[in-house]
Amino acid sequence: MPSENATFNSAVAKNLVHRPRRLRRTATLRRMLQENVLTVDDLIYPMFIMEGEGQKVEITSMPGCYRYTLDLLLSEIAEVYRLGISAIALFPVIPENLKDDTASESFNPDGLVQRTVKAIKQMLPEILVITDVALDPFTSHGHDGIVDENGVILNDPTVEVLVKMAVSQAQAGVDVVAPSDMMDGRVGAIRHKLDELGFTDVRILAYSAKYASAYYGPFRDALDSAPKFGDKKTYQMDPANAKEAIKEIALDIAEGADIVMVKPALAYLDIICQVKAYANLPVAAYNVSGEYAMIKAAAQNGWIDEKKVILETLLSMKRAGADLILTYFAKEVALMLVK
């Protein structure tokens, strides 16, 4: 005699109308019904440029990522473009002797970033070049703004320098400027000046919801740009806040941003989702250095399947609503997807 429990379970099974597992039964069905698909067109590759020649220096806290001199950077860009990566984001390593309190090197027409943009566009006009608009790589104190005698980051004087920086990058031929500083009003000021000077086709990718995150450590190692005093909490967002992200997004849209960004990505998937629901613009997410380093460290210790975790991590950002993902995994993922 079947037990009472078995009889009950059998009766329930006979009355099951909806069996979601039916649609998971074969690989073909799973592939056909997949709601989100990660492709190489979703990816933007952040790359580090330094002065010199013939040098490629690995970043200790970011295994597999390098600082390149311009000659070797051009070779690497040609390779990643061949793999299908059609957009890169440049971040400069500035020598200490060129840093000062006012970030004057940031808008030097013959500066590292400006020369790099010109060389890339001459070699490969088709690739989309994005440049960072922030002062921290160029300041002696490591902050994203002009600092007064009391250590206060000054908003409006900083915006004036950011505008000069964006204009110099536009003059060099950049496709997209990306203000990452989180100063108030900088998107509107940059858009106004670019339009006034005839650079109406230069796009603005705004770091709109950039949090004061502990995940940025390896990036600051890469650029040697950690703040020499204090922190960045007076201008970057509090990780506890979500509504504030929508406020920042709304302001940047009103000021003329073409794309808005959430940074970091992995610990802020809820923010990406909310921004995607609110914004009528493309949404980018930055898979930052700390997120990258954690996966690399776990993989090196044999604790995870690196390839599967990379793809799942990036797919989670796409699922949350990201149209574009800045990721140091871009080249690795491109190699995975072409196989």
> What is the bridge-based pairing of β-strands 153-154 and 146-147?
antiparallel
Report d(CA 224, CA 93) in Å as an integer: 7
Q: What one-character-per-residue DSSP string does 246-275 give?
A: HHHHHHHHHHT-SEEEEES-GGGHHHHHHH
**Is 263 labeled as catalytic in the residue annotation?**
yes
Annotated catalytic residue: which of 263, 296, 318, 331? 263
**Is 232 labeled as catalytic in the residue annotation?**
no
Annotated catalytic residue: which of 118, 164, 193, 210? 210
Q: What one-character-per-residue DSSP string does 284-325 give?
A: EEEE-HHHHHHHHHHHHTTSS-HHHHHHHHHHHHHHHT-SEE
Q: What one-character-per-residue DSSP string does 57-126 give?
A: EEETTEEEEEEEEHHHHHHHHHHHHHTT--EEEEEEE--GGG-BTT-GGGG-TTSHHHHHHHHHHHH-TT
Residues noted as catalytic: 210, 263
